[in-house]
Structure 1
Amino acid sequence: MLPLLSLEERETARSDPIDGIDGTVCDVARTPRVRVHDALTTAREDGFETLQEIAVRDLLERLATAGQLFFGRGVPAHSGELPPFERYQRRVVAATGMPAGWVRTAAHWIAFGLRHLSESLRAQSPTGGLEVYDDPGYVRETNVGLAFAPRVRALGATMPANDPTVYVWPVVALAMKIPLVLRPSDRDPFTAIRLGRALRRAGIPASAVHVLPGDRSIGETVCRDADHAMAFGGDAVVDRFRSDPTVSTYGPGESVAVLARDPTDRELETLARGVARSGGRACFCLTRLVATGECDADALATRLADRIVRVDATRCGSLYDERTGVPGFSPRRAEQIDATVGELTGTDVTADRRGGGRDCACDAGRGSDSDSRLLERDGVARLLPTVLRTDELVPELPFQFAGVTRRDVDELPDCLDGAYLGVVIGDDDLERTFVRSPEIRKVYGGRYPAAVDLRETHETYLGSELYETTTYDPG
């Protein structure tokens, strides 16, 4: 049984199976409600006080070691060991259908992010330095005394299963000396438990790291009762908290690219990467491409389809093969998603491009005709990358899927109803309009970003939720 982590690892009287894409993966503990109260109390009291006593640079070194332990590479001999990375990797693949290569990439970014947390802390510091996390007082305008002081003593988070990379963002709180209480997704408790173990073995106090697997009511209790919380997930999860000012919500990204002219080949490659990365499951994956101005929507859809098929549809072998790029699903879930795509109006531009270059692992079983999106083999279903040319703004779906549509420039960005990430190509004025829009959280001009950068916001800076600037004049 996978345990809960709260001061110590505990199994519980009740456990539930983790049902993967083709069967049960293992059992995981169910956290009793009273344990949530105990974990938050421990975090606020002993966890908070203990973290305050650790110098920030020492804390950052421990977090960097935790990243090495999590990834299983370059681990200092004195730091202890975790179960082999490959066991973790296989369990995440079996539970979520995320291809093994993307799981390894996510683990790399977790390790990289923990190694470079100092850069994130400097970006969020009012002075640009790390000293304020040890001694909060500082001076502005030569004689104005201020302090960068904690607003909260514990951060709660209910986590998703779409992409392990997302765990980097709440861990920033530990670098800022704020304890963390996590409720992982039922589909992927493996990442949270492995990360919690790595943090503890690297020297982060056990009173400051709590991992509480359980049903959604446990996540809701964590978010409601923590001083501040982060709620990740679909609309059904985040809608519960949208009106609560103490909970920051991170729902479907519905990230968008708007093109006012036809993209160059290099620009198009970055857009294709935006659709394909992380198996199409991350909030920063592009879902909507909007042509406006002089951009030809039909040509954009055709060119994008060519890139998407070349990028990933030729790599749909075993999910445990790190060359595989296309995620897997249970047959029932794949049929539901495929039916959703089928209900959308428009033309599947990728349909006549499927088939010829496919790995033979996908050529057996139902849906093996050359234009089929849904393929099934050995109880595992695949949805091949799909580009839809449509008049609709398509919904976000958990595979490599995007819709290309056209809108007049004066409709933008209001018609989008918000987006986690916006790319604007070919119109500087529209780019500024996106920057000024409170509904578009991150804006990139001219290209889709090459990598996650912790110096940037994740919608907002976590530091703005955990810390506040106050007046402090020590006389």
Structure 2
Amino acid sequence: MTDPTLPLVSGGERETRRTRTLTGIGGDLRTVAQAPRVRVHDAVETARESGFDALGTTPVRELLDRLADAGRRFAGHGPPDDLAPVADYAERVARASGLPVGWVRTSVHWLARGLRHAAEGLRAQSPTGDLGVYDDPAYVRERDVGLAFAPRIRVLGGVMPANDPAVYAWPALAVAMKLPVVLRPSRRDPFTAVRLARALLAAGVPESAVHVLPGDRSVGETVTARSDHALVFGGSDVTARYRDDPTVETYGPGRSVAVLARQPTDRELDTLARGITRAGGRTCFNLTRIVAVEDCDADTLAAALAERVVAATDGPATDPATDVPSFPDPDRARRIDELAEGAGQDVTAVLRSGPRLREHGDHTRLGPTVVRSDEFVEELPFQFAGVTERSQSSPTELLRALDSAYLGVAVGDDYEAAMARSPRVRKVYGGGYPATVDLRETHETFLAEFCYETTTYDPS
């Protein structure tokens, strides 16, 4: 490897005595600096004091201009030699994580767009619908009730995932809200966090407000413990330990669901198939559980979805035409394949050419899979969903049995209304899977719900 060590970012870019070699598809990819835990303490304290004050004295519209500039730089439209070319960055992420490079490029677009349009996200979370409360927290309700929209934290931590670069829009939005961030990126994708930090700092965001600390699990645990509030992304084993901690927002398996009370139209089927396959099937918003109720025949539904998902283009992760993700770790792919095999009858097996598990030397791919199952399936990190029949369930009984879901799609008015009123489903879409993810929408909740609070304020 001839590239310099990928640094940590905290008070500028820094190398460390301890490093690790990140290996992915095709061999060694980069040497990555590893943050010692003492650096985490320093970063959090710097963010809490200097970072919070520096952002607090910067007008919100100026911060938004800097975020928009950072978005352009992240997408490769900054000054020459500002950041590595997008094509090089995207290929690194694809080879490190197995996420198809085409989706990485799509995520670059959506992340950059989110930074350019951060003002819309801030307005959606403002109690007045105006940006002014981020500069002057005082506002009035009912003509004579004085209130304030004030930060309840001074630093936001983040233990970030490698499943989709676009998720970094949320900590970037926190910076626009005048809250400094300390991030521990995934060991599979440190590239996105460092690229975002470089873009933000080059655009003029104070360096005391943005910290990226690659490292092992203990670094993430320290970031979470030391920050005033934290976002933690991961599997059930990671999120379970924070389930009862009010200072941590966990984002784990989404178990997103679609409930169909009638046979779907071709357009609706197309949207559901997209919900299974988009982003390589690795995100919380991918549909995992497809439930047929009332007038929807589960077998017909499963067959129609299987025909659509097997059409996903297979190929190397670095090919822009590829839709199917790869696994740099073949053992992990085999374990996931075993779980999929035991989840139900594989309806896609007769439609695909060859087995679901395909090994290609330095990586492995799992073909898109729809199973017909008597029970609700567990989420797996590839293009996978289970179709289940629940003909006797009322909307309330069904939602109780599902436990929880990040995203819910309803085809049938009774189920749509029940989902919208249920605390078990965080985002509800009627009539089909959504085409895009919008920063004006919640990501389970709004950032402002745990970063800000409404207080009484009666100024003199």
Aligned-partner residue type, residue 322 of structure 1: P
Aligned-partner residue type, residue 119 of structure 1: E
- Counterpart position of 2:217: 216
Tell me, yes or no, if the aligned pair for 1:184 and 1:212 is still in contact at 8 Å.
Answer: yes
Aligned match of 2:407 in 421, 428, 431?
A: 421
Shift of 1:354: 1.0
Aligned match of 1:319 in 314, 317, 320?
A: 317
Shift of 1:456: 0.7
Give 3-state SS (helix, strand or coil) of 1:230's partner: strand
- Counterpart position of 2:345: 347
Shift of 1:18: 1.5
Aligned match of 2:419 in 423, 430, 434?
A: 434
Tell me, yes or no, if the aligned pair for 1:80 and 1:201 is still in contact at 8 Å.
Answer: no
- Counterpart position of 1:302: 303
Counting only pairs closer than 5 Å after superposition, residues 271-290 of structure 1 correspond to structure 2 as: 271-290=272-291
Shift of 1:22: 4.7
Asked if residue 62 in structure 1 is aligned to residue 61 in structure 2, the reply is no
User: Which string of whole-angstrom CA distances, capped at 9 and with x for unpartnered residues, describes residues 221-247 of structure 1?
Assistant: 111110111111111211121111011
Aligned-partner residue type, residue 398 of structure 2: L
Name the CA distance, whole Å, in 2 between partners of 1:110 and 1:59. Answer: 17
Aligned-partner residue type, residue 64 of structure 2: L
Aligned-partner residue type, residue 48 of structure 1: F
- Counterpart position of 2:377: 394
Unaligned runs of 5+ in 1: 356-369
Counting only pairs closer than 5 Å after superposition, residues 92-103 of structure 1 correspond to structure 2 as: 92-103=93-104
Counting only pairs closer than 5 Å after superposition, residues 159-238 of structure 1 correspond to structure 2 as: 159-238=160-239
Asked if residue 470 in structure 1 is aligned to residue 433 in structure 2, the reply is no
Asked if residue 409 in structure 1 is aligned to residue 393 in structure 2, the reply is yes
Shift of 1:126: 0.5
Name the CA distance, whole Å, in 1 between partners of 2:306 and 2:50. Answer: 54
Name the CA distance, whole Å, in 2 between partners of 1:147 and 1:85. Answer: 42
Name the CA distance, whole Å, in 2 between partners of 1:291 and 1:129. Answer: 43
User: Which string of whole-angstrom CA distances, capped at 9 and with x for unpartnered residues, describes residues 123-145 of structure 1?
Assistant: 00000000100111111111111
Q: After TM superposition, what 4+ stretches of structure 1 lie above 4 angstroms from structure 2?
A: none
- Counterpart position of 2:150: 149
Aligned-partner residue type, residue 336 of structure 2: I
Tell me, yes or no, if the aligned pair for 1:2 and 1:27 is still in contact at 8 Å.
Answer: yes
Q: TM-score, normalised by structure 2?
A: 0.96
Name the CA distance, whole Å, in 1 between partners of 2:359 and 2:41. Answer: 45
Shift of 1:343: 2.0
Tell me, yes or no, if the aligned pair for 1:156 and 1:222 is still in contact at 8 Å.
Answer: yes
Q: Percent identity?
A: 62
- Counterpart position of 1:83: 84
Name the CA distance, whole Å, in 2 between partners of 1:461 and 1:80. Answer: 36
Name the CA distance, whole Å, in 2 between partners of 1:193 and 1:167. Answer: 11
Name the CA distance, whole Å, in 2 between partners of 1:322 and 1:80. Answer: 24
Name the CA distance, whole Å, in 2 between partners of 1:2 and 1:252. Answer: 29
Name the CA distance, whole Å, in 1 between partners of 2:406 and 2:135. Answer: 33
Name the CA distance, whole Å, in 1 between partners of 2:400 and 2:100. Answer: 36
Aligned-partner residue type, residue 381 of structure 1: T
User: Which string of whole-angstrom CA distances, capped at 9 and with x for unpartnered residues, describes residues 338-388 of structure 1?
Assistant: 1111122x3211111112xxxxxxxxxxxxxx3x11112243211111110
- Counterpart position of 2:368: 385
Shift of 1:266: 0.7
Shift of 1:21: 4.0
Name the CA distance, whole Å, in 2 between partners of 1:217 and 1:465. Answer: 24
Name the CA distance, whole Å, in 2 between partners of 1:297 and 1:316. Answer: 27
- Counterpart position of 1:359: none
Name the CA distance, whole Å, in 2 between partners of 1:213 and 1:41. Answer: 18
Name the CA distance, whole Å, in 2 between partners of 1:309 and 1:55. Answer: 50
Tell me, yes or no, if the aligned pair for 1:229 and 1:247 is still in contact at 8 Å.
Answer: yes
How many residue pairs align between the two structures? Answer: 452
Name the CA distance, whole Å, in 2 between partners of 1:107 and 1:240. Answer: 31
Name the CA distance, whole Å, in 2 between partners of 1:317 and 1:466. Answer: 42
Measured on the aligned residues, the alpha-carbon RMSD in Å equals 1.2
Aligned match of 1:52 in 51, 56, 66?
A: 56
- Counterpart position of 2:20: 16
Give 3-state SS (helix, strand or coil) of 1:279's partner: helix
Aligned-partner residue type, residue 404 of structure 2: G
